Copies of this chain bind each other. A is one copy, B any other.
């Protein structure tokens, strides 16, 4: 399936241009590097080989030797470089050939991608390298393990990343797709959508809501009616911060006692997606056990409710363009529509 999809991406004229390139993408978690400090993953249709040099520096190369296109990931790390297993050419983290057993190194090189570790995430720049500015990596906050219980997971989506963003940008689905987490108040909530500095922000305020048992435990509300806010902040191309704030009715507004969940989607190909999700709860509010329970519930819901639905949507849409099928637009789609529009503008601006 993956191979088939990659073939189709390549055949579609100019289809690779569909991805926003001059932006940071999450390539994985730092913990995903194996015991030999290596990780191979396809991103935006390109096979990437990520590794750490002997002195701990993080590097990312196109996983394709320029000589015969053997995957460098089949090779061996030697100090600063990876040596191709086929004919022994070695390339350092900058992509330059550091050793050619068969002649001069000349201009031999492989594409290198800027890559940075931050808060346990590996951020890669798939565009023009000299435009990569580390300062533009979004700071999601609440990831300091001293202050927060932080848990992270991964799912592989058989769907375009845009569909997966839509799912988070319109949380009215909670009531229907996640019956154990939903309340009528979520779908009846007043929804504010606005754009700010290239971000799309969707807020839902729920008043006097009695939370389902599981959530009541995580947020320590018991059976009391509480006010709650769900805020989703979309960062292009496809990272979302979902913040839940809970104001207990007896303790006044305490927006810090909620939770944060990151939903980060990185296209593997035009039709498949890496889904990285990270949840955090404040240590001074919730215990280890509550955090474990919260994360287990999220994982269950993502795996058994969101993923099957989105994969099924994608299968039904097939190779057609989502917009070409003229989906019925509802008021709840404002967030998804704004984010798609913004993304499209950014991609067009790159062409």
Complex Cα distance, B172 from A100, in Å, reads 12
Q: Is A312 a contact partner of B173 (Cβ separation < 8 A)?
A: no
Interface residues of A in 289-333 (CB under 8 A from B): 308-309, 312-313, 315-320, 322, 325, 327-328, 330-332
Is there contact, CB below 8 Å, between B309 and A69? Answer: no
Contact status B177-A325, CB under 8 Å: no
- Chain B residues with CB under 8 A of A327: 66-69
Q: Are B309 and A67 in contact (CB under 8 A)?
A: no
> CA–CA, A102 to B313, complex, Å?
20
A215 at the interface (CB under 8 A from B): no
Residue of B nearest to A319 (CB): B7
Q: Which residues of B contact A181 (CB under 8 A)?
A: none
- Could you say which residues of chain B place their CB within 8 Å of the CB of A309? 70, 74, 85-86
Query: Which of B7, B101, B175, B316 touches A47 (beta carbons < 8 Å)?
Result: B316
A249 to chain B, nearest CB (A): 27
Residues of B within 8 A of A74 (CB): 308-309, 312
Contact partners of A308 in chain B: CB under 8 A: 74
User: Do A177 and B85 contact each other (CB < 8 Å), given the known contacts A309-B74, A313-B68?
Assistant: yes
A43-74 to B contact mask, C-beta < 8 Å, 1/0: 00001000000000000000110111111001
Q: Does A6 contact B (CB under 8 A)?
A: yes
A84 within 8 A of B: yes
Are A67 and B108 CB-contacts (below 8 A) given A86-B177, A88-B176, A101-B187?
no
Given contacts A85-B309, A100-B330, A102-B331, contact A316 B66 (CB under 8 A): no
Q: Write out the residue numbers on chain B whose beta carbons fall within 8 Å of the beta carbon of A117.
A: none
Contact B173 A86, beta carbon cutoff 8 Å: yes
A and B contact pairs by CB, cutoff 8 A, 19 listed:
A3-B318, A10-B319, A63-B316, A67-B330, A68-B166, A69-B313, A69-B317, A69-B322, A71-B312, A74-B312, A85-B177, A86-B173, A86-B177, A87-B176, A87-B330, A87-B332, A100-B330, A102-B332, A108-B328
Give A contacts to B, CB under 8 Å.
Answer: 3-4, 6-7, 10-11, 47, 63-64, 66-71, 74, 83-88, 100-103, 108, 166, 170, 172-173, 175-177, 187, 308-309, 312-313, 315-320, 322, 325, 327-328, 330-332
